[in-house]
Every structure is written in C-alpha cells, then in structure tokens.
Amino acid sequence: MTSLPLNDDLEMMLLCAVRYAIGRRTYITGVVTSYLAPLCEKLSTRTLLLMKTDIEDAAKTPGGLGMDVDERYWTRFLNDIRFELSERNVDT
C-alpha cells in the first residue's frame, strides 16, 4: 500500500469525507471513521477541531448522525478526537 503525505490538501479532503458521511445511512460512515481514527494523532489541531464541531453540530439534530449504528461510529470517532485534543492540551 502506498502512503500519502499528510498535508493541508489531504487534510481538507479528509474533512470533506467527514462532512459527506455525516448523516448518511450507509456503510460509508464506518469506512470514514475507521480510516480516520488511527490518523487522529497526525491530523492538525485545526482539522480535528473542525471535525469535532461538525460531528457535535450534527448530533444536535435528531437523526443528524444517521441511524443508531452510524451514531455509534461517530461517537467513537468523536471520543478519539477529544482524546487527541486533550493530549495536546487543547481546550474544547
């Protein structure tokens, strides 16, 4: 497998993947969150904060994160983001 360097453009694409997948009721939620969770420590603080905000905003609307299974994926990923931000001593 070829590894891509993480840069601003790739981080923007990953953020777009999150925004696309939020609220979808398909397998894509699991794909996106499973792919991104191990990358949390490599993502910029800015990207993590944007993802966190997007997920939290979607969660405010009933069904905003998708079905129950989707919500579990997003909650797990959100916890990963929050953990990484706390490791960086970023107030959230």
Which pLDDT does position 2 carry in this prediction?
Answer: 59
Arithmetic mean of pLDDT, 20-30: 95
- Mean of per-residue pLDDT scores for the chain: 94
Helices 28-36, 8-21: axis angle to 10 degrees equals 150
Amino acid of residue 51: M
The pTM of the full predicted model, rounded to 2 decimals, is 0.93
| CB contact at 8 A, 51 and 17 | no
Q: Is 80 exceeded by the pLDDT of residue 4?
A: no
Confidence grade of residue 9 (pLDDT, cut at 50, 70, 90): very high
Which pLDDT does position 92 carry in this prediction?
Answer: 74
Count of C-beta atoms within a 10 Å radius of residue 27: 11
**Please, is 29 exposed, middle or buried when counting C-beta atoms within 10 Å of its C-beta (0-12, 13-18, 19+)?**
buried
Arithmetic mean of pLDDT, 2-31: 93
Name residues whose C-beta falls within 8 Å of residue 92's C-beta, 6 or more positions apart in sequence.
49, 52, 82, 85, 86
